[in-house]
Chain A
């Protein structure tokens, strides 16, 4: 089977004894990583097609949704391949999107055989998360910096930094176990607002509006929202709606958590922001 492929130099070298089915398996795996890491739908479809084209399989049909890939390929004489994969919405990993994108370009240039590419994909998928300490520090830094943009002073910036650190520490440790996204984000918003209010009434914060606004910024689902908008732009309405609803739900739960805490402080302790 690989004999006739080797005679046609336009296709990449697949390696010894690699069937069409193995090519589809590779393409599906690449699509899986992309979709799970938050790539837009058209990129997933393009990558699956590009990998098939590179190794000279032209019978591929892929149907991609925001949480699943349906892939078939093959013909009566070369055997069929069909697989459905369910891919739940996970957290964004833009580095994996970039790495798979880079790899698929190289595959198109014919740089890797199928087993080599598969090994590289597995490596990408296993690439470690950023250390938790870095994430927590980044959340604090981001909140502190954004507090300046929202009109906060130096003490406000320090407060937002502290709240950002506490918030992400809470997300990574006590709130890490699986729970409903709505409840989780409600708790996160309430926690951030509660910390900011405590600092405000301790006299550290002068502009509570800026501090609360900045400390909930790490919760905003930027990747899901942007990707959803891009899907809409590409007429992928189903996947776009799912992603946008997902991100709006997060934003609304966070804001609700904040609102509840502010009015609780107002009604129970008689403390008001205004």
Chain B
């Protein structure tokens, strides 16, 4: 179990998430929170990968990101998107999408089917994570965010 690798990747995820927070003009004082969510999302993904394979792991990691974003949204009195958008970036199947289109361009049907299916199911998992967690009642997050769990 390569713990070093996971720690380095989590740090990279936090740094990358903060960089993209800047590109989306997130307010400066929220950068550390974005970085924390990026780190947590990748940590959840790396650990889940060991026991939950494939898109189910992505779904759970994306749900973690959205749940944390909604909690921070209450804590920081900000829209949840501010934390959610950069936080989801590490989970985006960027490489899968371009390999699928590369397969399309070079008429490599196997590559297209293989990468395309992987990227699509990962994207659907992220979408489900966003939609399902967004449906949880706001009162739940107000309760967690305001009083007992932090501070």
Instruction: List the interface of chain A (C-beta within 8 A of B).
Output: 38-40, 43, 92-99, 101-102, 105, 129-130, 134-135, 138-139, 141-142, 144-146, 148-150, 189, 209-210, 212-214, 216-218, 220, 222-223, 226-227, 229-230, 232-233, 251-252, 254-256, 258-260, 262-263, 266
Q: Secondary structure of the B side of the interface?
A: helix
Q: Please report the total number of B residues contacting A with Cβ < 8 Å.
A: 45
Rounded to whole Å, the gap between the CB of A27 and the closest CB of chain B is 18
The 27 listed contacts between A and B (C-beta, < 8 Å) are: A39-B79, A92-B85, A94-B81, A94-B85, A95-B26, A97-B79, A101-B78, A101-B79, A102-B77, A105-B77, A129-B25, A134-B22, A135-B22, A135-B23, A138-B22, A138-B23, A142-B20, A146-B16, A148-B12, A218-B20, A222-B86, A230-B81, A255-B98, A259-B103, A259-B104, A259-B105, A263-B106
Contact between A212 and B16, CB atoms less than 8 A apart: no
Q: Is B63 an interface residue (CB 8 A)?
A: no
Q: CB-CB contacts of B97-140 with A at 8 A, as 1s and 0s?
A: 11111111110000000000000000000010011001100000
In the complex, what residues of A have CB within 8 A of residue B9's CB? 148-149
Min distance, Cβ A138 to any Cβ of chain B, angstroms: 4
Residue from the list B23, B30, B97, B130 in contact with A229, Cβ < 8 A: B130
Cβ-closest chain B residue relative to A263: B106
Contact A258 B130 (CB under 8 A): no
> Is B25 within 8 A of A95, CB to CB?
yes
Q: Complex formed: what's the CA distance from A129 to B9 in Å?
A: 30
- Given A92-B24, A138-B22, A252-B101, 14 additional A-B pairs, CB 8 A: A40-B81, A94-B82, A94-B85, A97-B79, A145-B19, A149-B12, A149-B16, A212-B98, A213-B98, A217-B94, A222-B89, A223-B24, A229-B130, A255-B98
B residues within 8 Å of A by Cβ? 8-9, 12-13, 15-16, 19-20, 22-27, 30, 42, 77-79, 81-82, 84-86, 88-90, 92, 94-95, 97-106, 127, 130-131, 134-135
B30: chain A residues at CB < 8 Å are 98
Cross-interface CB contact of A138 among B19, B81, B98, cutoff 8 Å: B19
Task: Check A98 against B79 for contact (C-beta < 8 Å).
Answer: yes
Separation of A185 and B58 alpha carbons in the complex (Å): 27
State whether A230 touches B79 (Cβ < 8 A): no
**What CA separation (Å) do A134 and B26 show in the bound complex?**
13
- Chain A residue with the shortest CB-CB distance to B104: A259
Q: Is the CB of B79 within 8 A of A145?
A: no
Residue of A nearest to B132 (CB): A233
Contact indicator B16/A210 (Cβ below 8 Å)? no
Contact A96 B25 (CB under 8 A): yes
